[in-house]
Amino acid sequence: MSSELSLNKKIISCYFIIAALVIIVAVLIFGKACTVSFVDGNAWRKLGEKQVKPNIKVPATRGNIYSDNYELMATTESRYRLYLDFWAEGISPDTLKKYVKPLSIELNKMFPQKSASYYENHIMRGWNMREQTANQIKRGNKNAKKNREYRLLTHDVNYIQWKTIREMPYFEKGIYKSGLYKKEFVTRTKPYGTLASRTIGDIYGEFDKGGKNGLECHYDSLLRGEEGTSTRRKVNGRFIDVIDMRPINGKDIISTINIDIQDITEKALLSKLKEIDAESGTAVVMETATGEIKAITNMGRIREGVWGETKNYAVSDLSEPGSTFKVVSMMVALEDEAIHPEDSVDTENGVVQIAGQTLKDHNANRGGYGMITAAKSIRYSSNIGVARLIMRAYGDNPGRFVDGIRKIGFQKDMNLEIPGYGVPRIRHPKDTNVQYWSKSTLPWMSFGYETQIPPIYTLTFFNAIANNGKLIKPIFVKEIQENGKVIERKKAPIVNEKICSSKTLSAIRQMLDDVVNTKDGTGKPAYSDKVRIAGKTGTAQLSQGSSGYRAEGLSHQVSFCGYFPSDNPKYSMIVVIRKPRNGPPSGGWMCGSVFKSIAEEVYAKNMIYTEKTFPVDTIHPVLPAVKNGLKESSLLALRNLDIEYNEEQSGAKWITSNSEEDRLLLKGRDFSDKTIPDVKGMGAKDAIYVLENLGLKVHISGKGSVNSQSISPGNKVNKGQTITLLLK
């Protein structure tokens, strides 16, 4: 019994000792916590703040701009700037010296602009600078600083090049043993270079400032997306970024530009500018029924013999249009029944006095046209004929003439999608802000002076003639997409349902047809035996500022505007050239020939024929090539084209395609959200949709279907990683 009591006393004593120790430890911990919180708290909090950097902006990926058939015209591309950190802990000078020669040889193979010896000397120069700095630090030089950013190359590289470089001799050892590392920069690239460059637009050098001009500016809020935020934390001596709010990538813009038509247009205009050595030129192709701008090129002389896209003349150039405006005057007078196509007008010998000023026709040196009809005043582009007809009809009431012009819709601001566009300036005698209206204003206005009209407005008017009188706003964007899905389809707004009566329209169309397709029409150079063209020439003297229209140093703007095929118009087009140096200024010869060249090639490439034009080939039936991609879209196309196919795994969302005798074999496929999919054979649109939905950044090079991908199928998906696709 006594032994049990002794044991219990020992247990109780141990318990109290342990309890006392626990209490002492607790008191010490509490005391330390108080010291940390209240005495050293500020110091620790400051130290903690240095380890965490919150609210770091995570930029969104800017949306792409595509052509009308989904070819990339502007995209965001990652570029990499390469550095060597010779102070990296694992660098061995012996290893560096051993590998520097084979490394330099590989760099020379990739970038032959510099020799292998250059790369070797450059790298060793960086190492020697590191050694010199190290010696200075040992000697106590406080001004000596470690340079951890020795530039390897003078230029930036793309992802494919970076991937190859990091696998070169010595660099393959990794960042800690070789010192090689990169800094990523985001740039905006245009795969098609100058094609429609000013219309597609540019962004500012500081990427986050967004669009500077063109569609990049107008649709900046959609393209830029919404940036996210992250917190940078120091873990094991290295900073890592933890995403707090993911960025929302920008939406994609599907433009109306057709790459083939754009290429044809640019080449034809540039060829003529070189031939006649003109200061600048613009050409715009518009789809008649939809108002979609299929091509727009604006070339200005950069230096002697070199032209490039410097300004969007088509939408911003406010200038006197010249004789293309005679069609507007004729339409107004015909609609008012103030004149008729067969009315006579005397142009005399090509030189007359009107309102105290001398007015000449272009053939005055050949005796003029004499007595002609109103219709022929358009065919021959007679200044005198049109001026006298309009004076006869509206001399007592010029305001009625301008009212007729405005009734067409010329004066309306069409709110174009290109920032900096101009709006026509057409004076009215009753305008409160009109500076001066003289007796010569009306006759000179009738043939294209005393007004200022951007080329695209003139084109819109001629397009309305081709479009059975319906004046529609030209548009540059047809769709807005988000993650491959259409969220908005654009349709050209109607500016004026009917610019004139059917009777007037028929008379005007006949006049425009005669300009090109009769032997004595001024538009004869635009005549084609392949596609029937209708249109009007224009030649305008350019004002010399305060000196007016002096003969000395006179310069001209020439143009041709019309549509084709004239019997069933598919496209309208305007060509304008300013200040040609070689040859007499002529809207027909200079611009009409460009119009003809573009029209013939566009006509041939687009095959504007009926199905009956070609016999059915029953001997060599050809199955179309179907890209791998979204099943729904492929089936829709095949059904509309009445093409037979066999389908396997009908429940799948995506398909691959193979030919099987006289029909197509479609096989279903699914993608994992954990591994990189095989997107070879897909079009750019489908491939981007699949990969971006997995959280990857996609860079595309080339055109066609995906031929190769930088990350092999089956690899683990790392969100935010960049994958490069090569299209062929």
The per-residue pLDDT for range 456-504, each reduced to its tens digit, is 999 999 999 999 999 999 999 999 999 888 999 999 999 999 999 999 9
Same structural domain, 158 and 288 = no
Residue 236 CA to residue 421 CA, distance in Å, equals 56
Range of the domain at 264: 259-606
Same structural domain, 242 and 270 = no
Least confident of 360-369, 546-555, 588-597: 546-555
Q: How far is CA 384 from the centre of its chain?
A: 44
CB 461 within 8 A of CB 418: no
Residue 390 lies in a domain: yes
Q: Which residue shows structure tokens 């034809």?
A: 268
Residue 539 lies in a domain: yes
Q: What is the pLDDT of residue 30?
A: 75
Q: What is the pLDDT confidence band of residue 257, given thresholds at 50, 70 and 90?
A: very high
Residue 525 CA to residue 523 CA, distance in Å, equals 6
Please indicate whether residue 621 or residue 146 has the higher confidence score (pLDDT).
146
* Mean of pLDDT values over 62-79: 88
The per-residue pLDDT for range 653-683, each reduced to its tens digit, is 777 777 665 667 777 777 777 788 888 888 8
Sequence-ordered alpha helix ranges (H) in 35-87? 41-51
Q: What is the pLDDT of residue 463?
A: 97
Least confident of 50-59, 322-331, 418-427: 50-59
Least confident of 117-131, 545-559, 574-588, 631-645: 545-559
Identify the domain boundary among 574, 606, 638: 606
Which pair of tokens denotes residue 404?
């007729």
Same structural domain, 249 and 269 = no
* Mean of pLDDT values over 227-235: 73
Please indicate whether residue 651 or residue 184 has the higher confidence score (pLDDT).
184
Please indicate whether residue 600 or residue 211 has the higher confidence score (pLDDT).
600
CB 255 within 8 A of CB 477: yes
| pLDDT over 70 at 691, yes or no | yes
Q: What is the pLDDT of residue 465?
A: 97
Q: What is the pLDDT confidence band of residue 617, given thresholds at 50, 70 and 90?
A: low
CATH of the domain at 498: 3.40.710.10
The per-residue pLDDT for range 317-330, each reduced to its tens digit, is 898 999 999 999 99
The per-residue pLDDT for range 505-540, each reduced to its tens digit, is 999 999 999 999 999 999 999 999 999 999 999 998
CA atoms within 13 A on the CB side of 445: 25
CB 438 within 8 A of CB 450: no
Residue 51 lies in a domain: no
Q: Is 389 helix (H, G, I), strand (E, B) or coil?
A: helix
CATH of the domain at 62: 3.90.1310.10
CB 198 within 8 A of CB 178: no
Residue 297 CA to residue 574 CA, distance in Å, equals 11
Q: Is the dihedral of CA 467, 471, 474, 477 positive or negative?
A: negative
Residue 40 lies in a domain: no
CB atoms within 10 A of CB 166: 18
CB 401 within 8 A of CB 441: no
Q: What is the pLDDT confidence band of residue 612, given thresholds at 50, 70 and 90?
A: very low
Residue 247 CA to residue 123 CA, distance in Å, equals 39
Q: Is the dihedral of CA 608, 611, 613, 617 positive or negative?
A: positive
Mean pLDDT of the chain, nearest integer: 85
CATH of the domain at 702: 3.30.10.20
| pLDDT over 90 at 40, yes or no | no
Cis omega (within 30 of 0) for bond into 565? yes
Identify the domain boundary among 237, 255, 273: 255
Same structural domain, 496 and 519 = yes
The per-residue pLDDT for range 83-111, each reduced to its tens digit, is 999 998 888 889 999 999 999 999 999 99
Sequence-ordered alpha helix ranges (H) in 684-726? 684-693
Same structural domain, 237 and 284 = no
CB atoms within 10 A of CB 370: 10
Q: Are strands 293-303 and 494-496 parallel, antiparallel or unpaired?
A: unpaired
Same structural domain, 329 and 274 = yes
CA atoms within 13 A on the CB side of 657: 20
CB 439 within 8 A of CB 363: no
Same structural domain, 469 and 565 = yes
Residue 342 CA to residue 365 CA, distance in Å, equals 26
Q: What is the pLDDT of residue 414?
A: 92
Q: What is the pLDDT of residue 621?
A: 55
| pLDDT over 70 at 133, yes or no | yes
Residue 343 CA to residue 376 CA, distance in Å, equals 10
Domain count, the chain: 3
Identify the domain boundary among 255, 287, 312: 255
Same structural domain, 507 and 537 = yes
Same structural domain, 130 and 218 = yes
Q: What is the pLDDT of residue 50?
A: 56
* Mean of pLDDT values over 122-132: 93
Q: Is the dihedral of CA 100, 101, 107, 112 positive or negative?
A: positive
Q: What DSSP character marks residue 64?
A: P
Q: What is the pLDDT confidence band of residue 259, given thresholds at 50, 70 and 90?
A: very high
Q: What is the pLDDT confidence band of residue 546, given thresholds at 50, 70 and 90?
A: very low
Residue 42 lies in a domain: no
Q: Of 89, 236, 78, nearest to 173 (Cα)?
A: 89
Look up residue 113 and give its amino acid: Q
| pLDDT over 70 at 433, yes or no | no
The per-residue pLDDT for range 270-313, each reduced to its tens digit, is 999 999 999 999 999 999 999 999 999 999 999 998 999 888 99
Q: What is the pLDDT of residue 689?
A: 79
Residue 43 lies in a domain: no
Residue 212 lies in a domain: yes
Rounded to two decimals, the pTM is 0.72
| pLDDT over 60 at 237, yes or no | no
Same structural domain, 248 and 308 = no
Residue 25 lies in a domain: no
Q: What is the pLDDT of residue 545?
A: 52
Same structural domain, 158 and 233 = yes
**Percent of the chain having pLDDT more than 70?**
88
Same structural domain, 359 and 212 = no
| pLDDT over 60 at 597, yes or no | yes
Please indicate whether residue 632 or residue 302 has the higher confidence score (pLDDT).
302
